Amino acid sequence: MTDTLSSWLTTDAPASRRQAVLGNLYRGGTAILRNPTALVGLIIVALLLLAAVFAPLLSTYSPIAQDLPNRLAPPSPAHWFGTDELGRDILARTLFGARVTLTIVALVSIVVAPIGLAVGTVAGYAGGWVDAVLMRITDVFLAFPRLVLALAFAAALGPGIENAVIAISLTAWPAYARIARSETLAIAQSDFIQAAVLQGASTWRILFRHIVPLCLSSVIVRLTLDMAGIILTAAGLGFLGLGAQPPTAEWGAMVSSGRDVILDQWWVATIPGLAIFIVSLGFNLLGDGLRDVFDPKSA
Amino acid sequence: MTTDSRAIVVASPQRRRFAATLAQRIASFIITLAVTFVGLTAVTFFISRLTKIDPVLAVVGDKATKSAYDAAFRALGLDQPLYVQYLIYLRRLLSGDFGVSVLTSRPVLDDLLRVFPATFELSTIAIIIGVAIGVPAGVIAAARKGRWIDHVIRIVGLFGYSVPVFWLGLVGLFIFYGRLGWVAGTGRLDVFYIDVVTQRTGIILLDAALDGNWDVFTNAFSHLILPASLLGYFSLAYIARMTRSFMIDQLGHEYVTAARIKGNSFWRTVWRHAFPNILVPLITVIGLSYASLLEGAVLTETVFAWPGLGNYITHALFNSDMNAVLGGTVLVGAVFITINLICDLLYKLVDPRLRAR
């Protein structure tokens, strides 16, 4: 049974589009599992997802319930990672913080990838002055200092997750436009695009049905590599008090709250910081591995 | 002295075309710089419009009469169309008028110039650390590709990419200041050393050395070394990774094999033959990470209470001092953009493969 399934998946002559797609997924999946870097990264990211989904089940404490008599308690069997300055369980807050981090990462991805794809593919396919203008704009945004601009934006709009997402997205999209453009330039030359043009396909159809799907893989690899940077910027904004607002558990803000007591109660700042570190390490490892698997040229 | 074999090959016909395109490139550089600066100021202008703080009230105070308010409204040009307001803003910026800081009630430009040396000192020491360790690490990793030392350097680099700088700063303070006492704590100097040396450059190490006051120098150094090492670590990660990939590319060339066959030792080939060829892209990489250090300093300075640009901006942020925030953003942005584009230009000018495009 497994033999027939794997030979059905890896056949050179797929009988249907579904078989071809599943076969590609299978080959990619096994390549990732065989790459130790990607595998470790994948496990960490999977753990993050599980922590975010099952946070209420994994911890018996509420992330926002205060317990002042027990404030700044060191790690113990009752509170594995101790409690913070308001007596809140740090394990619970760290687990629930995974939700905030995932929200930010997901929102930035769904804002940044479509904008980058749209700008890049249109610029690459249209060429001429459209290309020149769009790429100039992209270069302008690419040259901006990311964190400082995000700071100014968050300061003007007021603190909060949505504004942090807007601020990060504003400085993150140009990289995707560049990637999509260079992919489009290569794809637009190929024979099957010419064939589609001759068959009378409209420009929009060629862009969205033929070119965009082919750009997706490099955009996704780049997105994974960027995740760590996005998480670190978001945590930095949170640390400065410009991210999620209290009492929401956000890792950057949690580190900030442990700042004053770092010399005596080290666990308050250390645990959420470790969480940021491990998660961005996970995304970096996964991104590195994905690049090795799908894009060996640039590794 | 080793020469780049490719540079000789491209000498005569392309040299002339290169000279012709040089003027073009510089013109295009200036245009890009101008466009990018207009873009940056347009964004900061847009941000200043987004704030809920009324700029008129900031000038006249909240007890002003209606007519005084209207007069100030017109004096600030707020009755003009938006693009005229932007042009007014741009002209003010170009003449060095960044507005007055609400917090310090001094011109923002004066404040920025006062705090800039602290950031400059920190990021310069940091980039020195980053280059001194990152470049050799990258070269060794490339020369020993796939061996254990390569993996160790890769993992150290990956950690640098993944660790939040503000958190590492806190942990560093906890361990090296709190527990071990090897370094001094936050700030640039201990309290009793402040204002001891004459301010010449604002760079304390230099001022102390010029005064010959080595007590102050040592104290400043023990304050500086921890934040500078941390920042240096982040640029080290990037520099080592880029150096490694440049070197791997070079070591694959045939001239390396030729040099080895002629009897050069392995490390001599690596350092004397291959390494000089990566200097150009490497300088670009170092320039870029220097620019990003200016930015990275924002969080580090906050953790270490380092009285530089980053600290100034975040401090202004919490006191709704938008003039100071935007002035700081424009300054960091302008420095960042200029270094970025100069590196880009340098790269295109010196690398023959990029001249054709």
Judge whether A120 and A181 are in contact, CB under 8 Å. yes
Tokens 């990419």 belong to residue? B161
| Residue B22 identity (one-letter amino acid) | L
Peptide bond before A75: cis, by omega within 30 degrees of 0?
Answer: no
- β-bridge partners, A89: A83
Q: Inter-chain contact B32–A139, Cβ cutoff 8 Å?
A: yes
A54 in any annotated domain: yes
CATH of the domain at A240: 1.10.3720.10
Show Cβ contacts of residue A53 under 8 Å, excluding neighbours closer than 6 positions.
Answer: none
Q: Do B47 and A239 touch (CB under 8 A)?
A: no
pLDDT of residue B132: 94
In a domain, A17, yes or no: no
SS3 of residue B107 by DSSP: strand
- Considering only alpha carbons, which residue of chain A is nearest residue B342? A143
Residue given tokens 């800081």 in the structure block: B101
Name residues whose C-beta falls within 8 Å of residue B241's C-beta, 6 or more positions apart in sequence.
Answer: B138, B154, B157
CA-nearest of B175, B185, B286, B182 to B227 is B185
> CB within 8 A of A203, min separation 6: which ones?
A125
Task: Find the closest chain A residue to B43 by CA distance.
Answer: A149
pLDDT at B7: 42
Q: A156 vs B51: CB contact, 8 Å cut-off?
A: yes
What is the spatial distance between Cα B128 and Cα B23, in angstroms, rounded to a whole number? 33
For the stretch B131-135, contacts whose Cβ atoms lie closer than 8 Å and that sit 24 or more positions apart, written own/partner, are B131/B235, B131/B239, B131/B286, B133/B232, B133/B236, B133/B240, B134/B235, B134/B236, B134/B237, B134/B238, B134/B239, B134/B240, B134/B243, B135/B239, B135/B240, B135/B243, B135/B282
CB contact under 8 Å between B337 and A277, yes or no, is: no
User: Is A247 among the domain residues?
Assistant: yes
Q: Do B35 and A240 touch (CB under 8 A)?
A: no
* CB contacts, 8 Å: A268 with chain B: none
Contact indicator for A267, A90 with CB cutoff of 8 Å: yes
Dump the DSSP string for B115-154.
HHHHHHHHHHHHHHHHHHHHHHHHHHHHHTTTSHHHHHHH
Residue A74 gets which letter from DSSP?
P
Residue B224 host element (H or E): helix B214-251
- Chain B residue with minimal CA distance to A255? B167
Q: Which helix (H) or strand (E) holds B84?
A: helix B82-94
Residue A19 covered by a domain: no
Interface test with A, best of B29, B40, B170 (most A CBs within 10 A): B170
**Tokens, residue A33:** 């599992």
Q: Do B167 and A269 touch (CB under 8 A)?
A: yes
Q: Measure the CA–CA gap between A62 and B188, rounded to whole angstroms.
A: 41
Give the pLDDT confidence score for residue B139 in this predicted structure. Answer: 92
In a domain, A147, yes or no: yes
Asked if residue A294 belongs to a domain, the reply is yes
Q: How many angstroms away from the CA of A153 is the closest CA of chain B? A: 6
Amino acid at B102: V
Tally Cβ neighbours within 10 Å of residue B310: 29
- Look up the ipTM and state it: 0.81
Residues in chain B with CB shorter than 8 Å from the CB of A273 are: 164, 167-168, 170-171
Q: What is d(CA B352, CA B355) in angstroms, rounded to the nearest whole number?
A: 5
Give the CA count within 13 Å in the CB-facing half-sphere of A127: 7
- Binary contact (A152, B329; C-beta < 8 A): yes
Residue A16 lies in a domain: no
pLDDT in tens, B136-171: 999 999 888 888 888 889 888 888 888 988 888 888
- Chain A contact for B58, CB < 8 A? no
Chain B 1-40, residues with CB within 8 Å of chain A CB atoms = 32, 35-36, 39-40
The 8-class DSSP code of residue A90 comes to H
Whole-number pLDDT of residue B354: 55
Q: Do B158 and A146 touch (CB under 8 A)?
A: no
Q: What is the pLDDT of residue B134?
A: 92
Give B27-31's long-range contacts (Cβ < 8 A, gap of 24+): B29/B341, B29/B345
One pLDDT digit (tens) per residue for chain A, 299 residues = 567 777 777 777 777 878 887 887 787 788 777 778 888 888 998 988 888 888 787 777 777 777 777 777 777 777 777 777 777 888 888 888 888 888 898 999 999 999 999 999 999 888 888 888 888 888 778 777 777 777 887 777 777 888 888 888 888 888 889 888 888 888 888 888 888 888 888 888 888 888 888 888 888 888 888 888 889 888 888 888 887 777 788 888 888 888 877 777 778 888 888 999 999 999 988 888 887 777 655 44
Residue A139: closest CA among chain B residues belongs to which residue? B36
Our CA-based measurement puts residue A286 at a distance from the nearest CA of chain B, in whole angstroms, of 12
Closest CB from A139, A155, A239 relative to B325? A155
Task: Report the pLDDT value the prediction gives residue B11, as an integer from 0 to 100.
Answer: 47
CA distance A77 to chain B (A): 24
pLDDT tens, N- to C-terminus, chain B (357 residues): 344 444 444 445 555 565 656 777 778 778 878 888 888 888 888 887 777 666 666 666 667 777 777 777 777 677 777 788 888 888 888 887 887 777 777 888 888 888 888 888 888 899 999 999 999 999 999 888 888 888 889 888 888 888 988 888 888 888 888 778 787 777 777 766 777 677 777 777 777 777 777 777 788 888 888 899 988 998 898 899 889 988 888 888 888 888 888 888 888 888 888 888 888 788 888 888 888 887 777 888 888 888 888 888 888 887 777 788 888 888 888 887 788 777 777 776 666 555 554
**CA–CA separation, B169 and B227 (whole Å):** 7
SS3 state at B19: helix
B 138-197 residues with CB < 8 A to A: 158-159, 161-168, 170-171, 173-174, 178
What does R_g of chain A's alpha carbons equal in angstroms?
23
Residue B100: strand pairing partners? B107
Return the pLDDT at B131. Answer: 93
Distance (Å, whole) CA B14 – CA B5: 15
* Structure-block tokens of residue B133: 């360790």
Helices (H), B306-321: 309-318
B-chain CB neighbours of A281 within 8 Å are: 158-159, 162
Which residues from A are below 8 Å from B181, CB to CB? none
Asked if A117 and A180 touch (Cβ cutoff 8 Å), the reply is yes
CB-nearest partner of B36 from A143, A153, A158: A143
Question: Quick one: which of A242, A279, A224 has its CA closest to A147?
Answer: A242
Shortest Cα–Cα distance, B256 to chain A (Å) = 22
Between vectors from CA B178 to CA B174 and to CA B183, what angle results, nearest 5°? 95
The radius of gyration computed from the CA coordinates of chain B, to the nearest angstrom, equals 25
- Say if A13 falls within a structural domain: no
Question: Do B288 and B339 meet the contact criterion of CB atoms below 8 Å apart?
Answer: yes
Q: Which residues of B touch A284 (CB under 8 A)?
A: 158, 161-162
Of A137, A143, A262, the CB nearest to B174: A262
Q: How far apart are CA A31 and CA A217, in angstroms?
A: 15
> Is the sign of the CA dihedral B254, B260, B266, B267 positive or negative?
negative
* Surface-to-core class of residue B276, CB atoms within 10 Å of its CB (0-12 exposed, 13-18 middle, 19+ buried): middle
pTM for the structure as a whole: 0.82
Tally the domains of chain A.
1
- For A46, the domain range is 24-67+78-298
Under an 8 A CB cutoff, do A273 and B171 touch? yes
H runs (alpha helix) in chain A: 2-9, 17-34, 36-53, 55-58, 90-126, 128-142, 146-157, 161-188, 191-198, 203-205, 212-239, 251-257, 267-294
- Interface touch A148/B162, C-beta < 8 Å: no
* B-chain residues near A240 (CB < 8 A): 299, 302, 314, 317
Residue A147: its chain B contacts at CB < 8 A?
295-296, 298-299
Contact B336 A145 (CB under 8 A): yes
Checking phi first, is residue A236 left (phi over 0); if not, alpha (psi -120 to 50) or beta? alpha
d(CA B97, nearest CA chain A) in Å: 19
pLDDT at B12: 53
Q: CB neighbours (10 Å) of residue B262?
A: 9
Residue B229's CB: how many other CB atoms inside 10 A? 18
Chain B CB contacts of A280 below 8 Å: 161-164
